[in-house]
Chain A
Amino acid sequence: MITVKDVSVGDSLPVLELPVTARTVVQGAASTRDWQPQHHDHAWATTRAGTKDIFLNTPNQAGWIERYLTDWTGARGRLGRMKFRMRRPVFPGDTLVFKGTVTAVDAADGWVDLDLALTVGDETATECSARVAIPRDTDDNPWNRRGDDWRP
C-alpha cells in the first residue's frame, strides 16, 4: 500500500503503453454507452467529422486515466479531481503512452497532485492534471472521508 509518506514531488509514475485498435475505440464507446458515430462509424468520422478514423471518446479516456492512477495508488487511492484537455484525437493504430509526475503532496490531508501526459509518438494527445487522495498512513482509508474531510 502506498501512503503520502512514500511520495515526493517529482516522483514519476510507471509508464503505461496502450496499443489502440478499432476494438479499443468501439469497446470504450460501448462501455460508456456513447453511440456518437465518430466513435464507431469510420465513414461518418471521415466524411462528417473530418477526422482520419474513429477515435477514443472522452469518457473512455477518463476511464483509462483513472485506471492508470489507481494502478499506482492501489485500492485505497480515491480520485478527487481530474482535468484533461484533448490536443489530438487518438485513432486505431496509435500507441498511447501514459506518463505521470507528482507535482504536489499535502501530507497533512493526504492529497497528491499529478500532471499526466498521454502521447502518441512525439505528439501530446491528452494532458491531464489530477488530484488523488491516498492514505496518510497504513491505518487511513480515503474512502471513509466525508463532509469537511473530503475537499477535492
Chain B
Amino acid sequence: MTDTAALEREIGERTAALVDEWTGRELDAGPGDVACERGYILAWVEATENANPIYWDEAVARETTGGWIAPPSMLSVWMRPLLFNPGAREQIRPLEMHFRLKDAFALPEGIVTGNEIVFHEPVRPGDVISTRLTVAEIGPVRSNRLGTGRPWTIDVTYTNQEGGLVAVESYRMFCYVRSAS
C-alpha cells in the first residue's frame, strides 16, 4: 500500500462516524460586527477598479438603485468579525463552522475550491447583516497535489436587520493533511 493510500484509509476510518454527526449542523452566527458603510464600498471598488457609476455618482445611484448600495459580491465583508474589539461577545470566526469541522476531523489545512452565490435584496449603508451557517455536505476522502482529506460544503444564509433575505452562499472547501513530499 502506498503512503497516500494508507493515509486515505487512516483518515477515512477515523472520520467516518463524524460525517453523519456533522452533516446538517447549523450555527447562528448572529449580526456582523460592522454595518455597511460607504468607506468599505469605496475600498472594494478601488481594489477591483470598478467604475460602475452606481458606486461613484449619487445621482446615478438614486435613479438606478434608489440610493447607494454595496456591490452584491461584497457579501462576506459584512460577516467578518473585527480582529480587535474590546466589547466583543464570544468570538465567532468567519465561516466558523468550517473551522469547527477542521478541528473535529483533524484536517489542519484548508482551501476554498468553489463558491456559489444567489443574490436577493441589495445591501445598503446602515444595513447590519446576520448569517446562519449550515454544513450542507461532507464528501469522501480523496487526494490531490496538496494532500489527503475531505471536501465539504458550507451554506451561508445572509439576512438584513429586517429579516429580508440578502443572499445564500455555498462554499466548497477541501481540507487536508499535507502530502509528505
- Is the CB–CB distance between A67 and B112 below 8 Å? no
B76 contacts which chain A residues (CB < 8 A)? 32-34, 59
Which of B7-15, B23-31, B60-68, B134-142 participates in binding chain A? Answer: B60-68
Which of A2-10, A78-86, A99-107, A109-117 participates in binding chain B? Answer: A78-86
- Is the CB–CB distance between A27 and B115 below 8 Å? no
Q: Is B100 part of the binding interface, using a Cβ–Cβ cutoff of 8 Å?
A: no
A152-B34 Cα distance, complex, nearest whole Å = 27
- Is the CB–CB distance between A75 and B60 below 8 Å? yes
State the interface size on chain B (CB cutoff 8 A): 45
- Is the CB–CB distance between A83 and B46 below 8 Å? no
State the interface size on chain A (CB cutoff 8 A): 38
- Is the CB–CB distance between A32 and B44 below 8 Å? yes
- Is the CB–CB distance between A152 and B118 below 8 Å? yes
Q: Is B53 part of the binding interface, using a Cβ–Cβ cutoff of 8 Å?
A: yes
- Is the CB–CB distance between A66 and B80 below 8 Å? no
A134 to chain B, nearest CB (A): 13
**A residues apposed to B, CB below 8 Å:** 24, 27-28, 30-35, 48-50, 58-60, 62-67, 70-71, 75-76, 78-86, 141, 143, 150, 152
**B residues apposed to A, CB below 8 Å:** 34, 40, 43-54, 60, 64-66, 71-77, 80, 83, 94, 109, 111-120, 122, 146-147, 171-172, 178
Given contacts A66-B72, A70-B50, A81-B118, 9 further A-B contacts (CB under 8 A): A28-B47, A30-B47, A33-B76, A62-B117, A67-B48, A67-B50, A71-B52, A82-B73, A152-B119
15 contacts across the A-B interface (CB closer than 8 A): A31-B77, A32-B74, A34-B76, A34-B94, A49-B111, A62-B117, A63-B71, A66-B48, A66-B73, A70-B50, A75-B60, A79-B72, A79-B73, A81-B117, A81-B119
